Amino acid sequence: MRKTIAALLAVVLILLSIGIVMLASASTVKGISSYHDPYYFLKRQIVWLVISLAAGVVLLRFDYHWWRRLAVPVAVASVLLLILVLVPHIGMEVKGSRRWLRLAFLSLQPSEFAKFSLVAVLASWMAGAGPRAQNMKEGLFIPLTWIALIAGPTLLEPDFGTAFLLGLVGMTILFVGGTRIGYLLITGTVGLCGFILMVLRDPVRLGRILSFVMPEKYPDKAYHLIQSKVAFIRGGWFGVGLGNGIQKQFYLPEAYTDFILPIIGEELGFVATIAVVLLFFAILVCGVIISTKAPDPFGKLLGFGLTMTISYQAAINIGVVTGCLPTKGLPLPFISYGGSSLLVCLASIAVLLNIARHCTKEHPDEHTMVFKDKAHDF
């Protein structure tokens, strides 16, 4: 387990380093154009990095069992923040979406914190349900209510990408927690149909789907994807050199946020892109090892849920920028610009490491229950 902990720490530190270096390169043009400061975004990200590392150190020493008691209050607070974002003159509207709350010189994105709160409340409920998770009420209706309460306001922002991620993570936790597969298949099918219907009724999201399916027919809406592919092609195997990319010069509008991976591909090459993908795969492997060895049901579900949240988000972002998935507004964890995302990702890693520290104990502490329920064994 000590090797797993060391490997996870090393991987996260490498990703953070890549993020800072690439942000310094990808955001300079935008910084000069909008704020007359080439390091505007870099300085703000460093501030968030310091805050996130400090929070991570605190949470690393915070016994993860307490999250079981705090799960419901944290989830309720998360829902209230998501609703607050929708209130005029309180939530910040950017490009037609209300996703941010302004606090002094920083802004918070409640949907990022919603990811953590959803995992915590579902892990708490499913761990307590035990074998009763096979029942429709305990295993489906009640946890599905939490998913709806948290994902619903996110859809209204609108933030379809995060809402989809929340639903995907929620269903994964229910599956691992012991909910009947038949219930999940029916619920997932109905939910996916409803999600597709909402996309079809939204002109912006429908345009993204059409441009993904027929980019040659909708070149304007497929602009991000086309420029993203150009960046990877220009980079070749070893890139054009750090700082020498041209896609960040407004050819690729979101070069320092959602589409930062193509800048890595352009400047550092295909080799660096694959290295980033492998680093996220390493997080998945380490997270699964830690969660499977956790000494109690809550630790297993909490660790697995946090691991899959980061892994799913990374996979969706990589799928979008490579043209494998329709465009969604999800940042690349640890690398994309965004303080809220960075804070929640590092907090999730800290909680995961705290679970790992409990795995190394020879005897369970007073909070820990031995995990013997085969319905939850994964």
> For residue range 110-153, what is the model confidence (pLDDT) as tens digits?
999 999 999 999 999 999 998 999 999 999 999 999 999 999 99
Per-residue pLDDT band at 96 (split at 50, 70, 90): low
pLDDT tens digits, residue range 285-342?
A: 999 999 999 989 999 999 999 999 999 999 999 999 998 888 777 899 999 999 999 9
Of 39-43, 206-210, 287-291, the range with the lowest mean pLDDT is 206-210
CB proximity list for 20: less than 8 A, separation 6 or greater: 42, 45, 46, 49
- Output the pTM of the full model: 0.91
- Among 81-90, 211-220, 369-378, the range scoring the smallest mean pLDDT is 369-378
Specify the pLDDT at position 363: 45
Q: Which residue has the tokens 């896609």?
A: 247
Q: The tokens 């995992």 sit on which residue? A: 119
**For residue 23, is pLDDT > 60?**
yes
Phi, psi angle pair for 292, to nearest 5°: -70, -25
| Predicted local confidence at residue 365, as pLDDT | 53
Is 60 exceeded by the pLDDT of residue 367? no
* pLDDT, greater one: 173 or 156: 173
374 against 316, higher pLDDT? 316
| pLDDT at 377 (0 to 100) | 44
85: its two tokens? 């974002």
Tokens of 105: 């010189």
Secondary structure of residue 219 in the 3-state scheme = coil
The encoded tokens of residue 115 equal: 């990811």
**pLDDT tens-digit series, residues 98-119:** 777 877 667 788 999 999 999 9
pLDDT at 190 over 90: yes
Other beta carbons less than 10 A from residue 206's beta carbon: 14
Domain definitions of the chain by residue range: 1-61+216-305+318-365, 69-201
What is the rounded average pLDDT for all residues in the chain?
A: 88
> Confidence band (pLDDT; 50, 70, 90) for 212?
confident
Closest CA to 253 of 232, 229, 230, 224: 224
- Residue in 269, 234, 270 with CA at minimum distance from that of residue 249: 234
Cis peptide before 158 (omega within 30 of 0): yes
